Amino acid sequence: MVDNLSSEDPISVAERLAAEALIIDVDGFEGPLDVLLTLSRTQKVDLRKISVLELARQYLTFVERAKELRIELAADYLVMAAWLAFLKSRLLLPPDPEDEGPSGEELAAHLAFQLERLQAMRDVAARLMARDQLGRDFFRRGQGEDVTRLRTVTYSATLLDLMQGYARIRTRDEFRPFVMDRESVFTMEQALDRMRGLIGFAGSWTEMASYLPEGWEMDPMRRRSATASTFAASLELVKEGHLEIRQSDTFAPIHLRKRTETRD
Amino acid sequence: MTDDPRDAPAESLFDAPPMAEQERMVEAVLFASPDPVSVRDLETRMPHGSDAAQALELLRKRYEGRGVRVVQVGEAWVIRTAPDLGFLMQKETVETRKLSRAAIETLAIIAYHQPCTRAEIEEIRGVSVSRGTIDQLLEMEWIRLGRRRMTPGRPVTFVVTPEFLDHFGLESARDLPGLKELRAAGLLENRPPPGAMPVGEGADESETDEDQSELFEEE
Amino acid sequence: MTDDPRDAPAESLFDAPPMAEQERMVEAVLFASPDPVSVRDLETRMPHGSDAAQALELLRKRYEGRGVRVVQVGEAWVIRTAPDLGFLMQKETVETRKLSRAAIETLAIIAYHQPCTRAEIEEIRGVSVSRGTIDQLLEMEWIRLGRRRMTPGRPVTFVVTPEFLDHFGLESARDLPGLKELRAAGLLENRPPPGAMPVGEGADESETDEDQSELFEEE
């Protein structure tokens, strides 16, 4: 990976031709690393033994040619050129002991690593695509038999549903107008009174929404008020130790449960 | 394309793959094809000189007694699940749905007023109760038939079941929150409903009242 | 789900069908399903006490060298035609969308470096990855989002899917061609560039090595 500084001859005719060919086809490249990888092939050596200095020269020539031919190069090609010019100077000049930062050799080694890695990825990509593929070389079952789904429906209802259902019937005539007369505000005291009466029956986790007072669930304004006060009342009851409250996720339904003496 | 070995043309003997190989081919084609495959179709796909019919016969025998079978459908062949394993192709899913409002109300009335006739349920709900609703509750085994009322027509009554109590975590129907509690909970309005007991009028009060008072007034 | 016969629970010995019968069942289910079926799924469908893993192993052996094969894809199993018979299947051949060179490289980088962030892909390729490339691979269901990297910005990572493994006939990501050699050569390490970075800055190294070793060294 160490550059052989002595043998660097001016670029051969063949290499110049290769570099020019590259310029003409610059659109076909996938970025500066791709150009470097292609250039490195002209060295006809194992990527581990590549001369990064030589590669930097080749790349800089490539950029020069592009400029001469007035080909617009994308910014990252120019960034790479500047970096390689810097690397070249580092490699050529004797190391400055005062200088912190990585040495030219370290930078060159990393570039060689990047090239080798990119080449390796291309090689395995080719091997991957050369594998037998589903739908081309091997095939799935042509007549998959659908799994018949036997659906069993079970119905659920909570004790609260039952109580509310019953209360609904028993109060059908008077209850609704009675509530409708009120303003659309359900006070925390009302909610607390209501909840105290109800929590005794909340043995299992029940959605808070089901505790909303009858007739307050539909109208958005009333619903908001009832939800807010019921939530506040729930928190109060949790504080008092009568109730447990949980929410599985942000915006998920809030569940309530009576707090039992022996917690499970 | 013929079953008669004498007809097997000499020139293709060299081309045709061994029968075991032909059997593999038939197997793969039957497996992958979305439709049943005819012998003719098999042979156009297979190397020249292949005897698809014979390969099919070998394959069919090979699959005898296996989990899938090679079967003929009209002129064509197909691989199918063995009939005795059809049950594996079914997946049971359980879906939980909320009980309808009508069903809940009906159930609540039966629970609070049991034993309770259909006419009583309808009187309390103020609407007729569909046969389907009762059937659903019966099917769920949350209600069952109680003894018949000793009134004209001897109507059947409904009562809740142990399954019902189990589902709602109740020891008995008496554990249902009484009117007082419902009232305290704000589920019932404070004013006593018109005519102290608006339900179960007419039909033999005696029994009903007894049941109700047991249920509701105890505390 | 265990291969160890000692683990076979005594109580289910009476329920479970004979192994030959279990093998038939697995055969029927795998034949019926165009997509891989997990051992767990098999066992939920088979009678209680069945050992799908063992039945699968028997079945896999039975189909060795046949026209179709029982293959493992990740945690699941599926039957596929033998690759050498692909030539018979012109009718069934699916024309797959031609993948661009960028897409193929990106896919390979994700497969060999997974979980892999976009910045890492860009660092390896030395060029930015277009949204469309990632989208295409996501749409083909060959890659999916992995967990986020616990580094500043919490970048998303990409990993390959069971569909990818299925498509390329791989049992697991560990069976990717050349993986061992690449590892041995240190080419899968996320080597931080000394000082300044020429390309694709901002890659985060911390977790990557760990994940890779998790993925590749386990066995």
pLDDT tens-place string over residues B67-125: 999 998 888 999 999 989 988 887 766 677 788 888 998 998 898 888 889 888 888 88
Q: Mean pLDDT, to the nearest integer, of C92-100?
A: 81
From A117-131, A142-156, C95-109, the region with the lowest mean pLDDT:
A142-156
Residue C152 has φ and ψ, to the nearest 5°, of -50, 135
Kindly indicate whether the ipTM for this predicted assembly is greater than 0.90, answering yes or no: no
C contact chains, 3+ CB pairs < 8 A: A, B
3-class DSSP state of A252 = coil
Which tops the pLDDT comparison, A53 or C204? A53
Q: Mean pLDDT, to the nearest integer, of A87-106?
A: 80
Given an 8 Å threshold on Cβ–Cβ distance, is A165 in contact with B168?
no
Residue A262 reports pLDDT greater than 60: no
Determine which helix (DSSP H) or strand (DSSP E) holds A251, and give its type and residue range: none
CB-nearest to C187 from A83, A116, A147 is A116
Would an 8 Å CB–CB cutoff place B23 in contact with chain C?
yes
Given an 8 Å threshold on Cβ–Cβ distance, is B68 in contact with C31?
yes
Say what the pLDDT of residue C163 is: 92
Say what the pLDDT of residue A45 is: 77
- pLDDT tens-digit series, residues B23-49: 999 999 999 998 899 999 999 999 988
From A2-11, A16-25, B12-21, C198-207, the region with the lowest mean pLDDT:
C198-207
Q: What is the dihedral of CA A35, A37, A42, A47, to 10 degrees?
A: 160
Residue A151 reports pLDDT greater than 80: no
Nearest Cα residue in chain B from C81: B28
Q: Strands A148-156 and B90-98: what pairing?
A: parallel
Contact B132, B124 (CB under 8 A): no
Nearest Cα residue in chain B from C28: B67
Would an 8 Å CB–CB cutoff place C150 in contact with chain A?
no
Given an 8 Å threshold on Cβ–Cβ distance, is B81 in contact with C31?
yes
Q: Mean pLDDT, to the nearest integer, of C142-162?
A: 89
- pLDDT tens-digit series, residues A192-205: 888 888 877 777 88
DSSP B87-149: GGGEEEEEEEEEPPHHHHHHHHHHHHH-SEEHHHHHHHHSSPPPHHHHHHHHHTTSEEE-PPP
CA distance C72 to chain B (A): 18
Residue B158 reports pLDDT greater than 60: yes
Say what the pLDDT of residue B191 is: 46
Residue C45 reports pLDDT greater than 60: yes
Using a CB-CB cut-off of 8 Å, the residues of chain C touching A34 are: 125-127
Would an 8 Å CB–CB cutoff place A142 in contact with chain B?
yes
Contact A22, A36 (CB under 8 A): no
Residue B197 reports pLDDT greater than 90: no
Given an 8 Å threshold on Cβ–Cβ distance, is C96 in contact with A135?
yes
* Token pair listed for B71: 């079967």
3-class DSSP state of B204 = coil
Give the C window 69-108 contacts with B, CB below 8 Å. 79, 81-82, 85, 88-92
Highest mean pLDDT pick, A141-145, B199-203, C116-120? C116-120
A138, A143, A151: best to mutate for the B interface, most B CBs within 10 A = A143
C18 DSSP assignment: P
